[in-house]
Structure 1
Amino acid sequence: MPSLPTKTLHDTSRILARPPKSRDRGPKSTEDTQTDFGALDVLGNTPAPTTGIDACTPNGFSLNNGLKLSGSGVLLVGGEAFRWRPWVREGRKEGTVGEGRVGNEGEGGGTGRLKNPKGQWEVQKEAWGVFDLVWPKPDLLIIGTGPLVMPVSPTTRKHISDLGIRLEIQDTRNAAAQFNLLATERGVQQVAAALVPMGWKEGN
């Protein structure tokens, strides 16, 4: 086979090395089998849990089943919703929730607090009593610490861990959104939530 002149070889390599003028790979397909990934929703046919959080208010919560809780937090376990006030201490005020709502003002001894002296979020062991009763226990507990994310004390972490439950901490709004997603995806038996109202303010 006769060889091509050197000049021709160089010209051919320059042609092959040129980038394409367009990224268009051809005409748009008109087939009906095209998938619209933007409209794909894998949980579209899965009903949201009735104990999912519909709205977070400054002094409470609205649930998907129409229940409204005011002046307290909420504990969501095993498809049930419990009024939850972890800041209550014997002989103390409850603290402030929402727009100046104060509970048990007649009791003396100071206001309720969720922060320990080190500034960590800490809840007494008695506030988790429902987890001693439920079976099977949830795999994950999502804690909403109020308007801001707060570090959880080692004491509270250890108590939850000793129950065989993993812990995740967020501000209440994001914790509620995560509970809604995971409870829909994995079921209310696997995921629990303990949420403090968005309007919670520490006592002095």
Structure 2
Amino acid sequence: MAVRGRAVETLPKLMRSPRKDSASSTVTRTPALPSLRRAFSLYDQINLIDNVPDDQLRFQRYTETGFTVNGVNYEGSLLCVGNLVTSWGPRKFSEITPQSLSIFQIIRPIPEILILGCGRYIEPVDPELRRFIRSTGMKLEALDSRNAASTYNILNEEGRIVAAALLPYGVSS
């Protein structure tokens, strides 16, 4: 009990003593280091979106009826593999079949992931279509078309082998 009493008495003195010493001290202090916060700001120094090589596909806009890719407006559905873009037949989600994605049976190297842009809303993917995509060696990610285009941009900028099959954003089931 006596030890605790001394600790309680000493604590206020310890708390006050640095304040007194710092005000009356004549010790020379070293200058403060500059803040590194600004030096490591990714927003100020690196902008991946604007520094994409010209030969890489980049979705820049989406509309109800199509997409803008590398400054070119495309109407309708698109199929992108790596840095190649082409029109794609399906106009609504129910038209996406293994036959509409049969190009992935012959394309090499096979993309590691297929990003399926379902239109305005994410749709459940038919088990037969999932089996077909899995049989090609790809993984499947079904998203709304807006997020699918963004995901494609990010993965493609990372240098990954990626494919996207996108319905226009205005499409709904």
Normalization by structure 1: what TM-score? 0.64
Question: Measured at CA, do residues 31 and 59 of structure 1 come closer, stay the same or move farther in structure 2, by a change above 3 Å?
Answer: closer
Alignment of 1:107-186 (within 5 A): 113-115=92-94, 123-186=96-159
Question: Alpha-carbon deviations, 1:140-177, whole Å to 9, x = none?
Answer: 11111001111111111111000000011110001101
- Gap regions ≥5 residues in structure 1: 88-112, 116-121
**CA-based RMSD:** 3.4
What's 1:195 paired with? Answer: 166
Correspondent of 1:52 among 58, 64, 71: 58
8 A Cα contact 2:120 2:172, kept in partner: no
Aligned length: 159
Question: Measured at CA, do residues 124 and 6 of structure 1 come closer, stay the same or move farther in structure 2, by a change above 3 Å?
Answer: closer
- What is the one-letter code of the residue matched to 2:73? K
Question: Measured at CA, do residues 34 and 173 of structure 1 come closer, stay the same or move farther in structure 2, by a change above 3 Å?
Answer: closer
8 A Cα contact 1:131 1:137, kept in partner: yes
The alignment partner of 2:122 has SS state of coil
How far residue 11 of structure 1 moved from its aligned partner, in angstroms, is 1.0
- What is the one-letter code of the residue matched to 1:67? V
8 A Cα contact 2:118 2:143, kept in partner: yes
Question: Measured at CA, do residues 151 and 7 of structure 1 come closer, stay the same or move farther in structure 2, by a change above 3 Å?
Answer: closer
Instruction: Give the % identical residues.
Output: 31
Counterpart CA distance in 2 for 1:198 and 1:31 is 44
8 A Cα contact 2:116 2:164, kept in partner: yes
How far residue 199 of structure 1 moved from its aligned partner, in angstroms, is 1.6
Counterpart CA distance in 2 for 1:147 and 1:75 is 17
Counterpart CA distance in 1 for 2:59 and 2:52 is 16
- Gap regions ≥5 residues in structure 2: 20-29
Question: Measured at CA, do residues 32 and 67 of structure 1 come closer, stay the same or move farther in structure 2, by a change above 3 Å?
Answer: closer
